[in-house]
Amino acid sequence: MRKTVIAIGTNLGDRKKNIETALNLMRERGVNIVKVSSFYETEPYGYKEQPGFLNAAALCKTNLSPYELLETLLSIEKKMGRVRKIHWGPRIIDLDIIFYEDFVINEKGLSIPHPDMQNREFVLKPLNEIVPCYVHPVFCKTVRTLYEELEKTQKTNKIT
């Protein structure tokens, strides 16, 4: 079985239940959940005029290929009622493949590792909790290092 890390986000409805439902649907579809992070309240990213998010991450194992996993996650989003109207807009559930082993895939519709994860605290914070030593296959840095670098950047960019 292959290791994969999935980021989970939601900002509509019963957010905690949405994450739990998504995890259960993943289990039903051949994605074994090994470990789930705490749930984190976060501000919207990109499009700011929307409710706050609840984010988490899951370390998983699967026999699905990266493409099959993507299709599985998209089908779960659809089943749960996700509608894509506004880029970075409100969503009942968002499931993103962050890592799939040490694969690097850059194709239309599938980018692994997730191309902007290193700039997103709502991704790195839960990842740092469950897989701090996971090495990003492009940057050759651990999740912990990426998270610490982002924290330093955010602190220096804050205006008090």
**15 neighbors 31 (Cβ within 8 angstroms):** no
pLDDT score, position 35: 98
Q: CB neighbours of 83 closer than 8 A, spacing ≥ 6? A: 91
pLDDT score, position 86: 62
DSSP string, 52-96: PEEEEEEEEEESS-HHHHHHHHHHHHHHTT----STT---S-EEE
Return the CATH number of 2-116, one of 3.40.50.970, 3.40.50.920, 3.50.50.60, 3.30.70.560: 3.30.70.560
pLDDT score, position 88: 59
Residue with tokens 């239940």: 17
Catalytic residues: 82, 91, 94, 96
Q: Return the H-helix or E-strand segment holding 20.
A: helix 15-28
- Residue 28 φ then ψ, to 5°: -65, -20
pLDDT score, position 158: 46
pLDDT score, position 47: 63
pLDDT score, position 46: 65
Residue-by-residue pLDDT tens, the chain, 160 positions: 999 999 999 999 999 999 999 999 999 999 999 999 999 998 776 666 777 889 999 999 999 999 999 999 999 999 998 776 665 567 889 999 999 999 999 999 999 999 999 999 999 999 999 999 999 999 999 999 999 999 988 765 544 4
pLDDT score, position 159: 43
Query: In whole angstroms, how far apart are CA 127 and each of 18, 73, 135, 147, 156?
Result: 19, 18, 11, 9, 22
